[in-house]
Amino acid sequence: MMATPAPLVPMVLVHGAGGVGQLWQNQLLAFPRALAPDLPGRPGGPGLSSIPDMAGWLLRFIDDRVHARCVLGGHSLGAAVALQAALDAPARLQGLILMGAGARLRVRAEFFELIRTSYGDAVEELLRWWFAPRAAPRIVDRARQALRSLAPTVVHDDFWAADRFDVMARLGEITLPTLIICGEEDRMTPVKYARYLHEQIAGSRLVIVPDAGHMVILEQPRTVNEAIAEFLRAVAPS
């Protein structure tokens, strides 16, 4: 028996640090009213180095391109941006989807030095942390290409912003319907981060995805899309 199709709810999806909007390709194909913008600095120009600045940019994007309340989804750094936007302007959103997320993100100081001194090595280290061991090489290569397409300074600023993000004390303010998705083998934002979000955001739903690491949107797109579709059906206006 086929599942009921997801309603055509406007949705904006925000990529993670070192990512681009096209990494949401599996979701863009599945959800016709989804948009996945590139954060500033992609493909060129200066990036942004704080989550509040990224959230402000994103809310302006929503005003310019969506013209309606939308479901806002984010992966990793993008989830931090989505959380910040939800805290700053909840009335402009219809729901929240957090993937590979944490209420507080920290980055090892040595990693910033590696980006500065040997960007190629930094890319490969990231890929080792991003994916579960059994991830298909072609999927890993998609992320590699995205990282290599970006200026090291932009990736540095992405992780700099992530390192300073902390909304642990404010999660109780979020009253939007919220879906939290985490890969069971995520080492960057482990399952305990997702469980903390779930415990602190009233009424949220938690989905743990087997056989997936941090890049759950690439590793298990069917499971992710099924969870998103169910969530959209729940939040769609009647």
pLDDT of residue 5: 64
Scanning the chain, the segments in alpha helix (DSSP H) are: 25-30, 51-65, 77-88, 109-117, 119-130, 137-148, 152-163, 191-200, 216-219, 221-235
Q: In whole angstroms, how far apart are CA 209 and each of 6, 10, 26, 131?
A: 20, 24, 16, 13
pLDDT of residue 113: 96
All domains of the chain, ordered by start, with CATH? Answer: 11-233 (3.40.50.1820)
Amino acid at 72: L
pLDDT of residue 3: 56
CB-hemisphere CA count at 13 Å for 197?
Answer: 31
Q: What is the 3-state secondary structure (H, E, C) of 115-157?
A: HHHCHHHHHHHHHHHHCCCCCCHHHHHHHHHHHHCCCHHHHHH
pLDDT of residue 1: 34
Helices (H), strands (E): how many in the chain?
10, 6
Amino acid at 29: L
Degrees to nearest 5, angle at CA 73 with 68 and 76: 150
CB 101 within 8 A of CB 83: yes
Low-confidence ranges of the chain (pLDDT < 70): 1-5
Angle between helix 77-88 and helix 152-163 axes, rounded to 10 deg: 50
Long-range CB pairs of 133-140 (<8 Å, 24+ gap) are 133/185, 134/211, 135/213, 135/215, 135/218, 135/219, 139/215, 139/218, 139/219
* pLDDT tens string 90-118: 999 999 999 999 999 999 999 999 999 99
pLDDT of residue 237: 80
pLDDT of residue 21: 96
